Structure 1
């Protein structure tokens, strides 16, 4: 196997924090990056879950309330934002 160099840029603090963790695990940066790359190849994708931030509790409650209102046949409905503004007196 022929070696190839990989040059990346990252914040100094991130690099140092990662190196400290790797050292505690008995690894160096090269070994850790190679582990990441091999795992990427093995699973044919990023070896950890990537997702957007989950909504906070207030947002979750608002979503649930909005769904209930939308499904409630007795709740007031508005054909336009202007109708809603009139109802809210805004």
Structure 2
């Protein structure tokens, strides 16, 4: 699979904190972002709770992230190819269109 680079812009303090946290968890920032991207594609959702008050939930979020990282690392599910992802999207769109037609009849 071809690899491409991606640029992410973020506040310098956030970057510093993110770098330090990834290091404490024993991974690079690149690995963390790849884990996140794979999880979003695999589950078709953001793989963690988004809260209005994240400071109170920071420890819980860290535990959940570690648990999720371990789950992904232990997963025996093969990575999806881009063609497989596109086929799933095509089938989902086809199904949605059929449901829409059914409501309009």
Compute the TM-score of the two structures, normalised by the length of structure 2. Answer: 0.47
Q: Partner residue of 1:11?
A: 11
Q: CA RMSD in A?
A: 1.4
* Runs of 4+ off more than 6 Å: none
1:2-81 aligned at under 5 Å gives the runs 2-52=2-52
Query: Against the structure 1 CA distance between its residues 14 and 52, is the aligned structure 2 distance closer, same or farther, given a 3 Å change threshold?
Result: closer
Rg larger for? 1
Higher relative contact order (CA 8 A, sep 6+): 2
Structure 2 runs not aligned, ≥5 long: 54-105
Structure with greater helix share of residues: 2
